[in-house]
Amino acid sequence: MLDRSLSQLDQATLGRLREARQRAIRASARPQSPAQAWLDAHFGRLIPKRHATATWVAVTLLIAVLLGSAGYYWQQASDANTAVDIAILD
């Protein structure tokens, strides 16, 4: 049935279908960064594959949150060390 319907399509349509298939194969073969792979594994259903911008925004937000948390922790640890140093020096 499929072979018969293929014979009914004109060559221009077949060419466009072939090009679309090649583009889809190239797009699905793009390598992912580790952060994208993690997000895809955990939140893949929430962010559809066709929304690359949403994926990059999610990766950027994840990195920003991680860096902000690390900076806050470092500041708190530094303040605690300062208090210990003052207590030792007194």
Digit-coded pLDDT (tens) for 9-31 = 788 888 888 888 888 887 776 66
Sequence-ordered list of residues with C-beta below 8 angstroms from that of 48, at least 6 positions apart, any chain: 54
In this structure, are 57 and 83 located in the same domain? yes
The domain tally of the chain equals 2
Give the CA distances from residue 82 to residues 65, 89, 90, in Å, rounded to whole numbers and listed in that order. Answer: 26, 11, 12
In this structure, are 39 and 60 located in the same domain? yes
Predicted TM-score (pTM) of this structure: 0.39
In this structure, are 69 and 40 located in the same domain? yes
Range of the domain at 65: 32-90
Point out the residues of the chain with pLDDT beneath 70. 1-6, 29-32, 45-51, 90
In this structure, are 61 and 22 located in the same domain? no
**In the structure, how many helices (H) and strands (E) does the chain have?**
4, 0
In this structure, are 41 and 85 located in the same domain? yes
Q: How many CB atoms lie within 10 A of CB 18?
A: 10
